[in-house]
Every structure is written in structure tokens, then in C-alpha cells.
Chains A and B, each alone.
Chain A
Amino acid sequence: METILEINQLHKTYGTLTAVDHISLKIEKGHVYGILGPNGSGKSTTLGMVLNVVNPTSGDYKWFEGTTSNHDALKRIGAIIEHPNFYPSMSAVQNLELVCKIKNINTSKIIEKLTVVDLLSRKHSPFKSYSLGMKQRLAIASALLNDPEILILDEPTNGLDPQGIRQIRDIIQKIAASGTTILLASHLLDEVEKVCSHVLVLRQGKMLYSGPVDEMNRNHGSIFIDAADRDALHTFLKDKPYAGSITRHDDGLEVKLYEDVDNAQINKEAFESGLVLNKLLHKKQSLEDQFIELTNQN
């Protein structure tokens, strides 16, 4: 498979603070990657380094298997970093013309990309008159101008209202569906869960996990179970091989699972032990639970 980006032991310190701690990873063509991490975990710094705006303390990275120089490689990607950065007094079209000049491509795609992000009606207004959502959409149009081989998005929905978030997310999903490789940094987990196939988890500059989203946590979720006699239910459950820790809630017990179970089997066994269940619910662990668990346990 074609490798788009290879990062090798990338390291960045600011004085005594370690922002990114020896990260290595490989981005392959056609996948949608999410970088997860709380604020200040080194997401933006990592992206800044591969985008040539932050100097790494040590380590290196290679775009497109090292076949082109870094700044030529950047002409083949599209990237949006935090805030949309444009010239305030230029209009959308003028700003995009400048990007075309920098990327050394012709200006024929400007109208097409402005249509994708729904900015065509405001294409001649100066950038400073745009709302934040429009600015962010212009940034996406700008990143798409060269039909990039990889699209890098750093917190693309930061600071937007729900409608704006929805618009951006729809655009991202459309782009992902067209087969473009995407690297999406975010602390919004449902955003990542909805579009990403692979995920990297960072905390304090360290990489905690890297791999497919489904394999991120090997536990099997939990069951919510309740019966009239909770003590008896507790005794019944605690010797079972599949049961992990049991937590009492107001509305029943939550049992962490060690292995896959069949709800019907539990129900049957409970009934045979004289317990009538009034609730039995299997819950798969959400990405949020997995993320919190992963960032807490290390």
C-alpha cells in the first residue's frame, strides 16, 4: 500500500516542556485517520512539524516516500490548521487565486470548490466580513483547490455553532466518501467516531494507541442488569467467568465483561437460579469511554 506520510521518532520540546515525545506513525493512502487527545496533548504541534511550520527538536518525517522535497510535497496536500488564515481585505476569490499561485496550479477550480462549500454567493465579499463558519468553509475550499492526496484538518469545527459543525461534518464525510485520505485532529470524539477508520490517541505528547477504531479497546463492553433482589443478583453474577467489576447504580447493576456473552443464556441461568430479571441490556463501549479509559490507565 502507498505510504503518504511516515513519521519517525518525531520529538519536540519547548524549554523543559515536552510537547511531542518520540512519535512514530505511518499514514497510508485511502484511510481516514483521527488524532485524538485532550487539549495540549501535542496534536497541533505534531501537525505543525510535518507541515513545516514548527521545527522538530529531533526525529524526521517523509512525505510520499521521500520522493519530493518537503515544500513540494505540501503543494500536493491540503491542510487547515486551527483558525482559518487569510488576507482580510481580499475576497474569497482573490484569496484562493493567491493559494493557486503558491501551489502553482491554475485557477480553474476556484468556482467549483466554492460551490462545494456553499460560498459562491459571497465570493466577492472581503474575507473580514465573513462569519467564523464561512471562514472555516473557505479554508476547506482552499485546502481542496489542488484535489489533495491527503487532507489534514486540525479541529475543523472548533468554535462553530451546531449548524456550522453539521455543515463542516457533512463536507468532510463527502470528501472521505470520495476516497481522499484524511487526517483529522480533534478532541470531539463523536466527530472522529463518525468519520474515521483509524485512530491515534495522544496524551502529553505520548502516543497511547494507534490502529483501527474497532480494535482500540479489547474489552467487550458491559451489561446493565436488574432484578427485584439485587443482593442475590450480585452473588449470582460475581462467580461467573465473564463478569468483571460490578458497580451498583440506582437503576441496577453494571457488569464489565471479560468475554462475549449471550444475553439469552444469562437470562436463562438467572431464571434457573430463581432470579427474575426486570432489565438486561448489553452496551458496547463508546469511543468516549474507551478514550477516557485509555488516557486514564496509562
Chain B
Amino acid sequence: MKRLLGIEFHKFRYSKSSKVLTVIYLTIVVLLMLTGMIRINFNQFSGSLSDLGIFNFPLIWHITTYFTSFLKIFIAIVLVSLTANEYSNRTIKQNLIDGLSKKELILSKFYLALTLAILTTLVVFVASLILGLIYSDFNEFSIIFSQMGYLGAFFLAHLIFFCFCLFAGILVKRSAFALGFIAVWYIFEGILNLIARGVDQFYDTSIYDVLLHILPLNAMSNLIKQPFTKIDLVQSTMNQLPIEGIEFGYDIEWLDVVSVCLWSVLFIYLSYKLLKTRDL
């Protein structure tokens, strides 16, 4: 494993796009941390974002993982281009000729995806911890480290997305088209969701609830649910509105965890099958 990871990081280190996008990723994470200082005016409320209580432990775990989740697209672009460029530079062929087996090749890519998922989770963990220690109103040890499940969900969401990117890169072989494929797939899931909702309304079925857990990107984004309605200010505002009976769930659902893990395995397996059956 060490050897395979060494091979993959060698490729990662000397690729220009990976450097640029990693820097962009880190910059945005740091900038997001600084948003705590922004002062806002909202609903007779005036103060900085931190006064909203969003940086309080343990809510901060939910807030930061939810927002930084969107940044995974930057890392994903790196992964897609690293994988697809192996085809366009035909280095994948050379790797195999040099004595890397097809299994090792996929494994090395998977290890890279795994490591990147772990690293991004770590970055977000450290960033949130610092942010929380500065702004949080509660600083008891047990409160700080409660509800850490969001970080686990964050890691899994990244892992499945990276595996999906890897699969797209190997399937489509051109980085631009592979990114296109991911976008098209995202839209495809969106359309399926709309249709399902329509059908549910007409025939009183619950297809949408099933799709929400079964489709890979659905399950991925469903892992960490929106945290807005958890914020005190929003909550109190909503309570003033004459809407009754809306319940928001925030918990990570086991069904999503299982679904995401299965999809990750499936993507890696399919990538291997593709590589094995295709002539280079």
C-alpha cells in the first residue's frame, strides 16, 4: 500500500492542476473561517455571524461540514484530470508495461482518493476546532467533541464522490468529458427526483424517499442535511410564522451511510472491470 500511495502521490505532486486547485481549496477554507467576522443586519438583528451562535460547539460541526462539502468539486477536478490524463498521455499503458498490475493501478487511485478524503476531513476538523475555540460560547470538553458524526459523514460523502470521479475518469477517458459526465449525472438524478415527486403527488406513493437513499449523489448530499433551521435566529423567526407541523430531521441516516459505502465499492469495482476488459 505504501508503494502504491507513493506512486500516486508522485503523480499528484508534479501535476500543475493539482497544485493550483489544492491551493484554491485551502484558501477558500481559510476565507470561510474569516466569515465569522463579517457583520450582518437581519431581522432587527445586528452583529457578526459568530453572534448567531453558528460557531457554537457542537453546531459548528454540522455548519462547517455542510458548507465545505460544496468545495469537494475542486479536489474532484484534480482527481478526474489525474485519472483521465493517464489515458490522454497514454501513461496508463506505460504504467502497465512497466509492471504495475491493473489491480494495483486501480488500488493506487483508490488509495489516493481515500487519503484525500481523510486529509480534507482533517483540514475541516482543524479549521472548525480553531474557529469554535475562538467563537464558541461553550468550551467544555464533552460538548466540543459531541456530534462528531458529521465529520464521519463528511468523510464518506467525499469518499463516494472521489470514487465516482475516478470511475468517470476511467469510463470517459477525457477529463473535460468526464467532468461533463458528472454534471450530466447530477442533472439526471435531479430530473429523476422531480419525476418521482410528481408521481408521488399523483399516486400517493413514496418513490422519492426511496430514490433519496438509493441514487449515489442523492445519498451523498442527504448524508449531511441542511443546518439552517437549527440556527437560533432562524428558529425563532420560523416560530413567528403561522406554519405548523413542519419537522426537520438533522440526523445522519444509516441507510445513507450503507448506500454510500456500497456505491463506493461498486464504483471501484466497475473501474477495475472496465480497465481489465478494455484494450489500451
Interface residues of A (CB under 8 A from B): 48, 51-55, 69-75, 79, 81, 83, 85-90, 94, 97-99, 101-104, 142
Please, which residues of chain A bring their CB within 8 A of the CB of B89? 85-88
Residue contact A51 to B6, C-beta cutoff 8 Å: no
Contact with B93, one of A72, A73, A81 (Cβ below 8 angstroms): A81
Mask, B57-98, CB within 8 Å of A = 1, is 000000000000000000000000000000001110111111
Kindly state the separation between the CA atoms of A68 and B228 in the bound complex, as whole angstroms.
59
CA distance A72 to B104 in the complex (A): 12
Cα separation A97 to B14 with both chains bound (whole Å): 12
In the complex, what residues of B have CB within 8 A of residue A53's CB?
93, 96-97, 279-280
Decide: A101 and B10 in contact? CB cutoff 8 A. yes
Q: Is B101 an interface residue (CB 8 A)?
A: yes
Q: Which of B91, B94, B279 contacts A55 (CB 8 A)?
A: B279
In the bound complex, residues from chain A placing their C-beta under 8 Å from that of B6 are 101
Please pick, from A54, A75, A83, A86, the residue contacting B279 in the complex, using a CB distance under 8 A.
A54
B99-A85 in contact (CB<8A): no
Q: Which residues of A contact B15 (CB under 8 A)?
A: 87, 89
A88 surroundings in chain B (CB, below 8 A): 89
Q: Are A74 and B7 in contact (CB under 8 A)?
A: no
User: What is the CB-to-nearest-CB distance from B36 to chain A, in angstroms, rounded to a whole number?
Assistant: 38
Tell me whether A81 and B98 are in contact (CB under 8 A).
no
Residues 104-132 of chain B, each 1 if its beta carbon lies under 8 Å from chain A, else 0: 10000000000000000000000000000
Smallest CB separation, B105 vs chain A (Å): 10
B222 to chain A, nearest CB (A): 38
Instruction: Flag if A85 contacts B100 (CB, 8 Å).
Output: no
A-B contact pairs, 24 of them (CB 8 A): A53-B93, A53-B280, A55-B276, A55-B279, A73-B99, A74-B98, A74-B99, A79-B97, A81-B94, A81-B97, A86-B91, A87-B14, A87-B15, A87-B91, A88-B89, A89-B15, A94-B10, A98-B7, A99-B98, A101-B7, A101-B10, A104-B3, A104-B99, A142-B98
Of B6, B277, B280, the most chain A CB neighbours within 10 A belong to: B280
Interface assignment of B11: CB less than 8 Å from any CB of chain A: yes
Bound-state Cα–Cα, A56 to B41, Å:
69
Minimum Cβ distance to chain A for residue B21 (Å): 14
Other A-B pairs beyond A53-B280, A54-B279, A71-B99, 7, CB < 8 Å: A51-B96, A51-B97, A54-B280, A87-B14, A87-B15, A102-B100, A103-B98
Size bracket of the B interface:
20 to 34
A54-B279, A89-B15 known; A72 vs B91 contact (CB < 8 Å): no
- Give every chain A residue within 8 A of B91 (Cβ-Cβ): 85-87
The distance in angstroms between the C-alpha atoms of A250 and B3, with both chains bound, is 69
Contact assessment for B98 and A83 in the assembled complex, using a CB-CB cutoff below 8 Å: no
Q: Which label, helix, strand, loop or mixed, suits the secondary structure of the B interface?
A: helix
The answer to whether B98 touches A87 (Cβ under 8 A) is no
In the docked arrangement, what's the CA distance between A87 and B95, Å? 11
CB contacts (< 8 Å) of A48 on chain B: these are 279-280
| CB neighbours of A99 from chain B (8 A) | 98
Question: B279 to A85, Cβ gap below 8 A?
Answer: no
- Give the complex CA separation of A280 and B186 in angstroms: 81
Q: In this complex, what residue of B is CB-closest to A74?
A: B99
Q: Tell whether A52 pairs with B97 under 8 Å between CB atoms, given A83-B90, A85-B90, A97-B10.
A: yes
The CA-CA distance from A98 to B6 in the complex, in Å, is: 9
Closest Cβ–Cβ distance, residue B206 to chain A (whole Å): 45
Q: B99–A98 contact, CB under 8 A?
A: no
Contact indicator A75/B98 (Cβ below 8 Å): yes
Q: Give Cα distance in the complex from A53 to B276, angstroms.
A: 9
> Bound complex: CA of A98 vs CA of B16, how far in Å?
17
Tell me if A101 and B93 are in contact (CB < 8 A): no
The CA-CA distance from A153 to B279 in the complex, in Å, is 19
**Chain B residues positioned under 8 Å from A75 (CB to CB):** 98-99
- B-side contacts of A55, CB under 8 Å: 276-277, 279
A98 touches B279 (CB 8 A): no
A98 touches B104 (CB 8 A): no
> Given that A55-B279, A75-B99, A97-B10 are contacting pairs, would A85 and B104 also be in contact in the complex, using a CB cutoff of 8 Å?
no
On chain B, the residues within 8 Å of A97 by CB distance are 10
CB atoms of B94 and A86 under 8 A apart: yes
Give every chain B residue within 8 A of A104 (Cβ-Cβ): 3, 99
